[in-house]
Amino acid sequence: EYRSRNMLELPPHIFAIADQAYCSMRDRNMDQCIIISGESGAGKTEASKLVMQYIAAVSGRGLEVDRVKEQLLQSNPVLEAYGNAKTNRNDNSSRFGKYMDIEFDFKGDPVGGIISNYLLEKSRVVSQAEGERNFHIFYQMLAGSSSDVLQMLHLEREVFSYPYLSGCSYVLSMDDEKSFHATTKAMEVVGFSPDEISISLELLAAILNLGNVKFEGYHLPNGTDACKLNNVKYVSYACDMLGCSQQLLSQCLTHRSFETRRDLVMKPLSASEGSYVRDALCKAIYNRLFSYVVKRINDSIKVKTRAKRKAMGVLDIYGFEVTESNSFEQFIINYCNEKLQQVFIELTLKSEQEEYIREGIEWEHIDYFNNATICELIEHPHKGIMAMLDDECLRPGEATDETFLRRINQKCLEHPHYQSRAMKKFRNDQTLGREEFRLIHYAGKVTYNTNGFLDKNKDFLFKDLSEAMFACERKLLRELFPEGDPVLKTLKRPPTAATQFKSSVSQLMKNLLSKNPNYIRCIKPNDSKESRNFNDSLVQHQTRYLGLIENIRVRRAGFAFRQLYEEALTRYKMLSAKTWPKWKGRPKDGVKEIMKACGRRAPGDYSMGRTKVFVRHPRTVFDMEKRRTLRMQDIVTLIQKTYKGWHQWRLYQRMRQAQITISSNYRGYVLRTRYQQMREAAIVIQKYCRGWQARVELRRLKFIVRATWAVGIIRKWFYGWKARKLYRQMRYAIKYEAAAIVIQKYYRGWKVRAEHRTKFKNIAGPLIADFMWRAVCCNFLMDLAENLPSDSPLDRRWPYVSWLFEDASAYLQKIHHKWRCKKIRDSYNSNPSRKRRMMEKARASALFRGKKSLYEKTIGIPFKVDRIGLRNDARWMKLVAQTNEQRVVWADNAQKVNRSDGKKTPMVLVVTGASLMVLEPKHWGLKYRVELSHISCVSLSSFSDCIFIIHVDPVQSRSMRDPSYAKGDFMFQNPNVIEMVTKIHAVIRESFRKKLEVKIDNEVCANFKPGDNPVQIRFHHSITSDTSSPVCKRRGGALQITV
């Protein structure tokens, strides 16, 4: 009913205020706050609940939104259980101030919030007035917890078993058992874990058990008052709940420590002081537990994202209180109500009248009561009551409540809103005690008793108790009592309760002034808490001191609505044809055109200020809003029409484009189908035509084949007949020709023999024998030429020959081998580098063949000069500049074997034309340099290891003053040891014309350090060892190498 409706259209209701604030925040991006004020018991808490319920009902829906709304709503039962209590004026009175900022997204959906609490009445934990109760959570816990839980908490269900809960134990309007289950469920919804709920109940149980602790006083021999604990079991129960040492807590309740420069002094406490310390501890635990509950609720409902948000604040703070005995708590509460009343006056009565004058509107001033002087009396930085109360608490010397009263009497005696027995006209006033003073608040006179003002303002907890709580096993207590940490010990005094509350109220006022305020004034109808019973005098008194009468007079005489010209023109420009859609003149003239179009006349209906337009009657605003709604409907219809036309045009364009696409694709499909059909038909025709042609060709080819076959048969038979005929003729001719030849042969032979019979044996015989021998030799040489071996000198094959040619064959085999060797030599002479490598391989063969097992594995591996890229490295160039040795014979990484323990160290070996250099591997710095002429011998083992020993001639090294002589012989390990030794052997042979001795033996004697005894090096072959990594061990004067 009240949703999105003007608040003046329907009867007044909290929903109307909430809807106006919500719509202004959502539609106009104006942060709002709803200030709920009134006396205690007037219904402020219920009003805040209705505001929350309305916001939850009208805002959006969604899984996350519903979760946030449920948490915001369920935070109320938790805060009421821990912060509300029954008083004589109200069964559910808020004993703390609450300000909740609800944050919304751009759509108006709640996304989170934050709660600020102000001044919990913690004194209610230990004492209550007659007919009042402690906080609800204590009674709910005893009534709603199961027997097992109560037994675990060391509690009894009977309320009167606990002095802190004595008095009124039952309230007709409440069911503590159901409320407890609702509270625990609400805590789970808000985000409390079962462990956190259990810990909070344990702390509450500890407070009740501490309340049962009794103190018995006695006197020490030196006359000092002391006390002891009577019922120790309750201390044990409390320590069990707190996780604290019973001895430590007992000592803190009966003694107080003082630190001097040298010692720690323990002072015993009297019985009354022990009770005070116990109550102070219980109040501190509950107060900090309540702050922790608020903090946990804030952690659950706070906004997690950083997006831009809108806010609506709801202020539900304790109302103005006047009791039979008003103390420090009532003084603070009434001060807060004075500040709220000041905000109300500033934002309504004062600011509105000042605005009329500022805007140049004719206005007759309406008098009202301004409570700024009362606020100044209380909060003035130097002369205010709060400032003097803090000074009394902090000044050295004996400061009591009486000295505080005397001081404010001296400073405030002349103030018109202050009364005391120190004033002459109130000396005989029996309603005003000698320890009391009276303030005339905006709501009436209130008499305050100064007893306990200083102690409550100090809000001081002995450091022994803080340290004891910090030492408890419960992690929550360490969080609640951080000042008990010995590491963070400080001598700085904590701020007083009045200072803290004044700062909180000041921050609250700034927050309220930064938002657009909305007011809900709660009027208490009677003091008997009865429905439908109005006490006229009580209601009139409240409406008078709340300033409602002056506010109504200002509203009636003033204007119901005002707005800046720019904002009014933006909101209502569619009501005039001249201002729609865009006004190009001054905003003020545009607003006049709008009013003229609506039929409104000035000054009866509205007035024009300097920057704002003021509308007098709400009906004018209703009419303009109604016109705007109708016009907005027309505009929306136009927008819808235009959009729908554009949408249909876009749809038509899309359909047309789709039709074109479909048509083109269809035509393409038809043509492709037709083409495929024609192509397939052509293929079929081609297939049959080619088949016919192939069959014709096949028949032709078959005919040709058959004709060819027939011709062949005919020719075969013809040629056969012809050949047989020719054969018969030739056979006949040969037969007769052979007979003729034989006859001729024999005849001619006879004739020759007849003529030469005497000379044949002497001449023809040797010629025939020589011819036959030459023919046999020619056949031998021809067969040998066809079966010669390959050109490789290693090929030992030779063809088998007859015994007649064995000598010739051996001689020819030698000639053939020499020819092959000459051919190889000619190829090496044409390539010098290849010749050099071959000579190195030949030298290696001469040195190691048949002597070192590793040699056979290195035959097929070509020798290299530089295996580490030495020549192109800048570090080598730098070293060349120092040593002037540019020729590199061989370079590779190696490992130097330590002479003492056989450990291996990476090194770089470089052999130049004149020396052997040992370089460190990282920067290639020169560690050792040995002249090649000083190397007398190189020793190796016969196994497959890669270790070699370079023996340095001590005589030559000493004569040349070689710095490497002090190191003696060297032992290295390198996988290319065959190559390295061959290179050194060759360069020494070429450069120094001497032969380097290469000793291959499994026992070698080396002199690693001149002057010391030689070291015997023994090589031992092990079948299980890894030959690639020999193991070197030093044993006495011998070095054993297992390979």
Cβ contact 986:843 at 8 Å: yes
Please give the single-letter amino acid code of residue 649.
W
Please state, in angstroms and rounded to a whole number, the distance separating the CA atoms of residues 434 and 423: 11
**Dist. CA 827–CA 834, nearest whole Å:** 9
Query: How many residues are listed for the chain in this entry?
Result: 1043
Is 175 exposed, middle or buried, given 0-12, 13-18 or 19+ CB atoms closer than 10 A? Answer: middle
∠ CA 563-564-570 to the nearest 5 degrees? Answer: 95
The DSSP annotation for 761-825 comes to HHHHHHHHHHHHHHHHHHHHHHHHHHT---S-TT--------GGGHHHHHHHHHHHHHHHHHHHH
Q: Verify whether residue 94 is a known catalytic residue.
A: yes
Which one is catalytic: 37, 39, 41, 84? 41
Other Cβ atoms less than 10 A from the Cβ of 678: the count is 10
- The residue annotated as part of the active site, out of 90, 620, 912, 939, is 90
- Sign (positive/negative) of CA torsion 961, 967, 968, 972? negative
| HSE-up of residue 86 (Cα within 13 Å, Cβ side) | 23
How far apart (Å, rounded) are the C-alpha atoms in residues 1016 and 1040? 8
**Are the C-beta atoms of residues 842 and 848 closer than 8 Å to each other?**
no
Q: Which of 45, 200, 451, 964 is catalytic?
A: 45
Contact 35, 51 (CB under 8 A): no
Catalytic residue chosen out of the listed positions 37, 59, 75, 94: 94
Residue 606: in which H helix or E strand, if any? strand 606-608
Give the integer Cα–Cα distance in Å for 130 and 166. 9
SS3 for 488-501, per residue? Answer: HCCCCCCCCHHHHH
Q: In this structure, how many other beta carbons lie within 10 angstroms of the beta carbon of residue 495?
A: 13
Tokens matching residue 257: 């420590």
The reply to whether 75 belongs to the active site is no
The type of residue at 1009 is K
Q: Which helix (H) or strand (E) holds 139?
A: helix 136-144
895 in Cβ contact with 973 (< 8 Å): yes
Query: Given 3-state DSSP classes, what are the helix, strand and coil percentages for the chain, each rounded to the nearest 5?
Result: 55, 15, 30
Alpha-carbon distance of 344 to 365, in angstroms, equals: 18
Give the CA diameter of the chain: 206
Catalytic residue, from 39, 321, 338, 359: name it. Answer: 321
DSSP 360-414: T----------THHHHHHHH-TTTSHHHHHHHHHHSSS---HHHHHHHHHHHHTT
Candidate list 83, 113, 319, 968, residue with the active-site label: 319
Integer angstrom CA distances of residue 895 from 237, 608, 918: 76, 103, 10
Question: Which residues, including other chains, have CB under 8 Å from residue 41's CB and lie 6 or more apart?
Answer: 87, 89, 90, 93, 319, 524, 529
Q: Is 90 a known active-site residue?
A: yes
For residue 40, indicate whether it is catalytic.
yes
Q: Which residues are catalytic?
A: 40-41, 45, 90, 93-94, 319, 321
